[in-house]
Structures are given as structure tokens and as C-alpha cells.
């Protein structure tokens, strides 16, 4: 394989991990959303590059979906939702930023150790891609568990899905079925979440998940 | 072969799918409740046809073999009886105003989409397609759990959604890893995702990759099976959703995820150098069993209690399949079937009980056998069955699990028996309070449909007393396949 193509793929996948890290320390919803848009943009570039390298035109479709849907439509929609709900204040985190960053580093180290060791026989491009993808997935999980706010949990979940798309495109020749399904599932996920948000708003006038937790264990029916 | 020609395989998919469309369009709830029952019955009959007709060759997407027929028939049967129960349950919800007609339209359409998703997961011959189907079934249940829109229901649905999607993400990652392991051997594209081809070539797959893949798949689909420590969504989802959904969650959706785990277990076991999947499953199963058994004591909500009992039984089933070998696999299969039938029967009873009493609190439900003999005794039989007393079916399967474990790993068997006894105590303790004594709360007569509940209980009783030889031979054959 040409050294340059490999380096670019590496750069883009690594960039995705970096943006995941940047999402970890955002303390405002708007900036978190901007980071997510950037995350999806980097994903788009990465997928497009894979499409070019693997000469798999169907991957361009995946890239387009990532660009239009995840880098533009969802962030804009969530922006509007946040403004309408009036919750553009600081995000309350469960854990401080310092420990979160350390945990993030530990997760990335873990995924490198695990994936690079077990994929020695695999194609080097796919191999590194997979290691990065697992890091992005785990960092997305970390975003989800360290935030109390429902919108930021959604963003964490979507960045996790971005990691999955990265993994799926890295696996050479993986049938289109899966890419469509991934995109589709994000769509469904968004609808579901949207429904949730509106219902939650109907009831609580807030999208802070802690408001939900307060009802735990107090059953009155 | 023309793939569009009608066959039972496409039937079990097309009937629920088209019924869902119809139900979404029909405004009248009485009509749609009937149509729901009718479509479910039709699907069940089609599934039975699978037993007698010649099986199609495994295609690129669909596959019928001995293993999944059992799951499909069970799935469509419980789906049918639940739709009968749901028809009588949902009318009451409408009267009390907990649901609106618009809600119901949505509910019925979702019910059929869920059936479609589950059937698709069973018949798919493609690991990617199966993942999509499991996810579809999960999302529909998330929506139905949240249908009451109360604080608790929303919290439960949210928790279910978040944990479920983390699980599904892990499962997809594991699926991708399996593809990566298969791709150098089987070749690129669809072939490297087809079960039939994967099994044939599993020997040559990279074992290290398969190991990691299985860990992800077990965690991912294990979340949906409700294995501790990934079970947190399950009690809430069972307690807050409509009771028919609790019944299908426990009786069916957990089985779908279990089926996925089993398929991948066969795959990993076919590769000689990969880790043995058994010990992982045994550990998770045993943890779930013992954990859930202790949790049963502290429950105050009747649906929540039976949700924990589902965790306990899924633990036993996963334990049995983890032990492996013809006898333990046989016991696991039998236990799965018996648990699905019993647990859904219990939820049918509990659904009506909660409607009469207007509460799910255990302390407010007393003396049911006196005030409502039909429901009360049904619940008593159900709980006796689920606690594992003879002569009902679960006693038999639990006995087989325990005895096959004693023969091979006495130490594990002691832990297993301990867990079973602890759960047994908790269930009987609660049962005496609920079923006997002075009736408390509303004693209004009930318009319940007893048929679904008692037909399940009759089957469970039949299974405990006499298993027909063809069924035994069938299960033994599958047990061999499971390795």
C-alpha cells in the first residue's frame, strides 16, 4: 500500500479520536453540539477517503449521509431545540474534567492494546482503523456516563455511532446492508429521542435526566 | 428458486409487516384489537407450516434450520396468546383513560412491527441483518414501554433506551469483528456474513479476533438477555410498560437476544483455537441467578418482582448453555420454552390483577384466591411452576440442569442449587401473601380472558408430566448441534 494513502487514513481516524477527546471537556451545550458537528465532518472525510482507497463507491453514500445528516441536520435541529427549551446553560457533569480526561486516556490505551494485539493478521489499514474506532466508541460511552443532561447523552450516543461507522467502513468490502442500517438506526434513534425529548418536556419542562431520577423508587400508583 | 414465491418463511415476515401497515391505518380500536389477534394467529399457523413443509435452501438473507424453527414457533405462539390477552387488557386501559384511541393505534402497529423484527432476527442468515432485526424489535418495545407517559414510564423507557443502545453498539462492533475474521477466509461481501458459510469455515478464522468479537457480542446481546450486571433496564421496563409488553419482553424478546448469543457461541466453538465460550456464559449466568434471587426478597411491586424472576431464569438458561454438552443444552432449551410459557402466563394474570386493584404494590394485593378464584389460582399455579416445583415443566428442566452440572462440576452445582433455593423461598413467601388470606382492595368482578393463561399453564403442566418423543428427539438433535 502507498505510504501516503495510509497516512491520510491514519490521520483522519486519529483526528476522530482527538475530537472525541475535545467533546469530553465541553461544558456548554452549544459548544458540545459544535464539537459533534466537527466529529461528523471528520468522519465524513475519513469515510470518503476509505471509499477512495478501497475503490468502493457505495461508501461515498455513507459519507454523504454522515455529512448531510449528522454534520448538518442534527446539530442544527438540536441547536433549535435547545434554544426553544432555553437550556443553553452549563452542563452539569457527574465527574470532574480532570478525572474524565484520564479515564478517556485509559480507555484509548485499552482499545489500542486490545485491538492491535488481536488483529496482527489483518490488513494494517483496517487494523489501525478498528483500534481508533473502538477508542471513539468507548469515548462516546464516557461522554454518556459523565453527563446528566439528556441532550449531551444523545450527543455522546451519536459520537459512539460515528465510531461504529468508522469500524464498519474500515472492514474491507463489508456489504452495504450494514452501512445503510447504521445510518438508518441513527435516524430511528433520533426520532425516538426526539419523541422522548418532547414527552419529557411536556412533563418536566427540563431535559435534565436528574429530574427523571428523582422519581425513582417513589411509586404512588 | 423464486424468492418472492409464498413460503412459510416469507409468511412469518410478511404477515406481521402488512398487518402493521393496516393497523396503523385503522382508526377503530375494537377492529384493530381483533385484527391484531387475527394476524398473530395467522403468523402462528404459518410458523407451524414451517414444521411440515420442505425447507428452502439457505439463501443470502434467510435461513431455516432445526434450531430457529423452535424459536419461531414459540415466538409466534406466545405472540398470538399475548395478542388475545392484550385485546381484553387494552379495553380496560381505554375505559380508565390511561390510553387514548390514538395511543392504541400506535400500540397495535408497534406490536406487529415488533413481531416482524423478532421473526426476522430468527430467520436471518446474515449477521448484519440479524443485528438490524434485533435493534428494530428493541426500539419498538422502547416506544411501547414509554406509552403511558408517566414519570416512571418515561424514566424506564429512557433507561432501557440508553442501556439498550449501548448493548446494541457493542453487538454491532462484535459483528464487524466477526466479519473481519471471516473476510480473508470466505471472501468479501455478503458471503462473509452468512451463518451457513461462517460455520463451514470457522476453523480457519483468526482465533484472536473471534475471542474479542465474542466478548463484545456477549456483552452486547447479553444486555438484552438481561444478564447481571447489565440488567438495570429490565425491571423498570417490565414494571412501567403495559402488561402485554411485559409478557412479550420476558417471554420473547429475551429469547431473541439469547438466540443471537447461541448462534455466535456455535460459531466460536467451531474454531478450535478460540477461547471456550462456555466459562464466560456460566459465570454471567450464575451471577445473574444469584443476584436476582437475592433481589427478589426486597421487591414491593408485583411486576418488578417477576421481572427479577426473569433475570434469574435467563441466568439459569445461559448457565445451562454455557455448561454445554447434550444434556445441559437439552435442559437449557426446555427451560427456555417452559420459562417463556410460564412467565407470560403469570404476566397475563398479573395484568388483570393490577387492573382490578388499581395498583401494583404487593402489600395492597391480598387474598386473590378468594376474591378472584380464576386469576388467583392461575397465579398460584404459575408461581409454583416458576419456583420449580414438581410436577410442572420448569421442575423438570431445572432438575436436568442441576443433575447434569452435578455430574461434571459439583461446586458450580452447589452454587446453582443455592440460587434456586433462595429464589424459591422469595417467590413462595410473596405468593402466600398475595394469593391467600383476607382479600384487600377492590373485589370487583373481572372481565378477563382466561384462555391464554390456562392454555400456557396446561402446556407447562403437560411438559412436566409427559414430553412427546418426537419433541424430545428434536431437542436432542438441537442439543447436539449446540455442542
Query: Which tens digits make up the pLDDT trace of B240-250?
Result: 889 999 999 98
Residue numbers in A near B151 (CB within 8 A): 203-204, 212, 215
Closest-approach residue (CA) in chain B for A184: B132
Q: What is the CA radius of gyration of chain B?
A: 21
* pLDDT of the residue at B181: 86
Confidence of residue A217 (pLDDT cuts 50, 70, 90): very low
pLDDT value at residue B321:
93
Q: How far apart are CA B211 and CA B358, in angstroms?
A: 50
B442, B357 in Cβ contact below 8 A? yes
CB-CB contact of A5 with A53 (8 Å): yes
Instruction: Of B426, B317, B237, B176, give the one whose Cα is nearest residue A164.
Output: B176
Structure confidence by residue, pLDDT tens digits, B103-143: 888 899 999 999 999 999 999 988 888 888 888 888 889 88
CB within 8 Å: B158 and A209: yes
Q: Is-contact A88 A30, C-beta < 8 A?
A: yes
Q: Left, alpha or beta for B388 (phi > 0: left; psi -120 to 50: alpha)? A: left
Asked if residue B334 has pLDDT above 90, the reply is yes
Q: B132–A177: do the CB atoms touch at under 8 Å?
A: yes
8 A C-beta contact, residue B39 and residue B24: no
Confidence of residue B331 (pLDDT cuts 50, 70, 90): very high
What is the domain partition of chain B in residue ranges? 278-483
Residue A182 near chain B (CB below 8 Å): yes
The tens digit of pLDDT for each residue in B424-463 reads 999 998 888 888 888 877 777 777 778 899 999 999 998 8
The tally of CA atoms less than 13 A away on the side-chain side of residue B297 is 9
Chain A residue numbers with beta carbons less than 8 Å from the beta carbon of B360 are: 219, 221
What digits encode the pLDDT tens for the residues B391-432?
A: 888 999 999 999 999 998 899 999 999 999 999 999 998 888
Q: Do A141 and B301 lie within an 8 Å CB cutoff?
A: no
Contact across the interface for B135 and A185, Cβ inside 8 Å: yes
Contact yes or no for A221 and B212 at CB 8 A:
no
| pLDDT at position A212 | 53
Q: Do B158 and A150 touch (CB under 8 A)?
A: yes
Residue A213 has a pLDDT of 52
User: What is the structure's pLDDT at A61?
Assistant: 80
What is the C-alpha R_g of chain A? Answer: 18
**A216: confidence class by pLDDT, cuts 50, 70, 90:** very low
pLDDT digits (tens, 9 = 90+) for B166-223: 888 889 889 988 988 888 888 877 788 888 888 888 888 888 888 889 999 999 999 9
Chain B: closest CA distance from residue A219 (Å): 8
> By three-state DSSP, how is residue B47 classified?
helix
CA distance B359 to chain A (A): 6
**pLDDT-derived band of residue B257, with 50, 70 and 90 as boundaries?**
very high
For residue B39, pLDDT over 90 is answered with yes
Q: What pLDDT is attached to residue B4?
A: 47
Give one DSSP letter per residue of A27-82, joined into a string: -BHHHHHHHHHHHHHHHHHHHHHHHHHHT-THHHHHHHHIIIIIIIIHHHHHHHHH
Q: Which of A193, A65, A135 is nearest to B164 (CA)?
A: A193
Domain boundaries, chain A: 3-213
Cell numbers that stand for A95 in this block: 465527574
Tell me the C-alpha distance between B243 and B303, whole Å.
Answer: 8
List the single residue in B with minimal CA-CA distance to A181. Answer: B132
Non-local CB neighbours of B268 within 8 Å, separated by 6+ positions: B202, B210, B211, B213, B214, B274, B275, B277
State the nearest Cα–Cα gap between A106 and chain B, in angstroms: 18
Q: List the single range of A104-113, B3-12, B20-29, B368-377 with lowest mean pLDDT.
A: B3-12
How many contacts does A have with B, using Cβ atoms within 8 A? 128
Of A117, A135, A122, the closest CA to residue A14 belongs to: A135
Beta carbons of B209 and A119 less than 8 Å apart = yes
What grid cell was written down for B434?
Answer: 398475595
Q: Which residues in chain B are contacts of A215 at CB distance < 8 A?
A: 151-152, 155
Judged by a CB distance cut-off of 8 A, whether residue A209 touches chain B is yes
- The C-alpha cell at B63 is 435461513
Residue A33, pLDDT > 70, answer yes
Residue B202's contacts (CB-CB under 8 Å, 6 or more residues apart) are B210, B267, B268, B270, B271
User: Is residue A47 very low, low, confident or very high in pLDDT (cuts 50, 70, 90)?
Assistant: confident
Q: Chain A residue closest to B212 (CA)?
A: A118
Give the model's pLDDT for residue B223.
92
Q: Are B227 and B288 in contact (CB under 8 A)?
A: yes
Of B172, B211, B360, the CB nearest to A118: B211
**Nearest-CA residue of chain B relative to A169?**
B176
Cα–Cα distance for residue pair B49/B1, rounded to 1 Å: 19
3-state secondary structure of B366: strand
Alpha carbon distance B175, B134 (integer Å): 13
Could you tell me the sign of the dihedral formed by the alpha carbons of A60, A66, A69, A73, in that order? negative
Q: Are B286 and B225 in contact (CB under 8 A)?
A: no
Nearest by CB to A215, from B151, B177, B184: name it: B151
A158 CB within 8 Å of a chain B CB: no
Q: What are phi and psi of A217, to 5 degrees?
A: 80, -10
Q: Does the beta carbon of A215 lie under 8 angstroms from any beta carbon of chain B? A: yes
Sequence-distant (≥ 6) Cβ neighbours of residue B97 within 8 angstroms: none
Do residue B179 and residue A171 have CB atoms under 8 angstroms apart? yes
Calculate mean pLDDT across residues A107-128: 82
Amino acid at each position: 500500500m502507498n505510504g501516503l494513502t495510509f497516512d491520510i487514513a491514519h490521520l483522519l481516524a486519529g483526528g476522530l479520536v482527538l475530537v472525541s477527546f475535545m467533546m469530553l471537556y465541553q461544558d456548554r451545550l452549544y459548544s458540545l453540539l459544535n464539537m459533534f458537528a466537527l466529529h461528523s465532518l471528520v468522519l465524513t472525510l475519513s469515510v470518503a477517503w476509505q471509499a477512495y482507497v478501497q475503490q468502493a463507491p457505495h461508501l461515498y453514500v455513507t459519507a454523504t449521509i454522515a455529512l448531510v445528516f449528522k454534520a448538518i441536520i442534527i446539530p442544527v435541529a438540536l441547536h433549535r431545540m435547545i434554544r426553544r427549551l432555553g437550556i443553553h446553560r452549563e452542563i452539569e457533569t457527574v465527574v470532574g474534567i480532570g478525572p474524565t480526561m484520564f479515564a478517556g486516556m485509559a480507555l484509548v490505551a485499552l482499545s489500542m492494546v486490545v485491538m492491535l494485539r488481536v488483529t496482527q493478521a489483518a490488513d494494517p489499514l483496517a487494523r489501525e482503523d478498528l483500534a481508533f474506532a473502538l477508542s471513539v466508541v468507548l469515548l462516546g460511552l464516557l461522554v454518556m456516563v459523565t453527563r446528566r443532561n439528556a441532550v449531551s447523552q444523545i450527543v455522546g450516543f451519536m459520537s459512539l455511532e460515528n465510531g461504529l461507522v468508522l469500524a464498519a467502513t474500515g472492514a474491507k468490502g463489508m456489504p452495504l446492508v450494514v452501512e445503510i442500517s447504521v445510518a438508518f438506526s441513527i435516524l430511528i434513534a433520533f426520532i425516538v429521542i426526539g419523541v422522548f425529548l418532547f414527552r419529557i418536556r411536556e412533563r418536566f419542562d427540563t431535559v435534565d435526566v436528574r429530574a427523571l431520577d428523582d422519581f425513582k423508587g417513589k411509586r404512588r400508583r | 428458486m423464486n424468492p418472492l414465491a409464498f413460503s412459510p418463511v416469507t409468511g412469518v415476515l410478511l404477515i406481521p409487516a402488512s398487518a402493521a401497515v393496516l393497523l396503523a391505518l385503522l382508526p377503530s380500536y375494537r377492529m384493530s384489537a381483533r385484527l391484531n389477534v387475527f394476524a398473530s394467529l395467522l403468523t402462528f399457523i404459518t410458523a407451524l407450516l414451517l414444521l411440515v413443509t420442505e425447507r428452502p435452501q439457505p439463501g443470502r438473507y434467510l435461513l431455516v434450520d432445526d434450531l430457529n424453527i423452535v424459536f419461531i414457533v414459540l415466538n409466534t405462539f406466545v405472540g398470538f396468546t399475548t395478542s388475545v390477552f392484550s385485546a381484553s387488557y387494552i379495553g380496560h386501559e381505554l375505559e380508565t383513560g390511561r390510553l387514548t384511541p390514538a395511543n392504541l393505534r400506535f400500540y397495535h402497529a408497534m406490536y406487529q412491527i415488533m413481531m416482524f423484527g423478532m421473526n426476522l432476527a430468527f430467520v436471518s442468515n446474515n449477521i448484519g441483518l440479524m443485528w438490524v432485526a434485533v435493534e428494530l424489535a428493541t426500539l419498538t418495545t422502547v416506544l411501547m414501554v414509554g406509552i403511558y407517559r408517566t414519570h416512571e414510564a418515561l424514566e424506564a423507557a429512557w433507561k432501557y433506551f440508553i442501556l439498550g443502545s449501548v448493548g446494541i453498539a457493542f453487538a454491532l462492533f462484535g459483528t464487524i469483528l466477526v466479519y473481519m475474521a471471516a473476510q480473508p477466509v470466505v471472501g468479501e461481501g455478503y458471503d462473509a456474513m452468512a451463518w451457513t458459510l461462517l460455520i463451514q469455515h470457522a476453523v480457519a478464522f483468526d482465533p484472536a479476533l473471534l475471542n474479542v468479537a465474542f466478548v463484545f457480542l456477549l456483552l452486547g446481546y447479553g444486555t438484552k438477555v438481561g444478564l447481571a450486571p447489565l440488567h438495570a433496564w429490565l425491571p423498570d421496563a417490565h414494571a412501567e410498560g403495559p402488561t402485554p409488553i411485559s409478557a412479550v419482553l420476558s417471554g420473547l424478546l429475551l429469547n431473541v437476544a439469547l438466540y443471537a448469543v447461541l448462534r455466535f457461541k456455535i460459531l466460536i466453538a467451531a474454531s478450535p483455537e478460540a477461547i471456550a465460550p462456555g466459562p464466560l456464559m456460566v459465570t454471567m449466568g450464575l451471577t445473574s441467578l444469584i443476584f436476582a434471587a437475592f433481589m427478589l426478597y426486597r421487591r414491593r411491586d408485583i411486576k418488578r418482582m417477576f421481572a427479577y424472576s426473569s433475570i434469574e431464569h435467563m441466568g439459569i438458561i445461559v448457565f445451562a448453555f454455557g455448561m454445554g454438552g447434550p444434556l445441559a443444552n437439552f435442559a437449557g432449551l426446555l427451560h427456555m420454552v417452559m420459562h417463556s410459557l410460564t412467565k407470560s402466563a403469570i404476566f397475563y394474570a398479573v395484568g388483570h390483577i393490577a387492573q382490578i386493584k388499581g395498583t401494583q404494590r404487593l402489600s395492597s394485593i391480598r387474598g386473590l384466591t378468594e376474591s378472584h378464584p380464576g386469576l388467583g389460582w392461575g397465579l398460584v399455579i404459575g408461581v409454583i411452576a416458576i419456583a420449580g416445583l414438581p410436577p410442572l415443566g420448569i421442575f423438570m428442566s431445572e432438575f436436568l440442569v442441576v443433575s447434569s452440572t452435578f455430574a461434571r462440576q459439583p461446586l458450580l452445582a452447589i452454587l446453582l442449587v443455592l440460587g434456586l433455593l433462595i429464589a424459591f423461598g422469595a417467590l413462595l413467601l410473596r405468593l402466600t401473601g398475595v394469593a391467600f388470606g383476607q382479600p384487600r382492595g377492590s373485589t370487583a368482578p373481572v372481565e378477563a380472558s382466561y384462555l391464554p393463561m390456562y392454555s400456557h399453564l396446561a402446556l407447562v403442566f403437560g411438559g412436566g408430566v409427559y414430553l412427546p418423543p418426537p419433541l424430545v428427539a428434536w431437542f436432542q438433535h438441537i442439543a447436539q448441534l449446540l455442542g
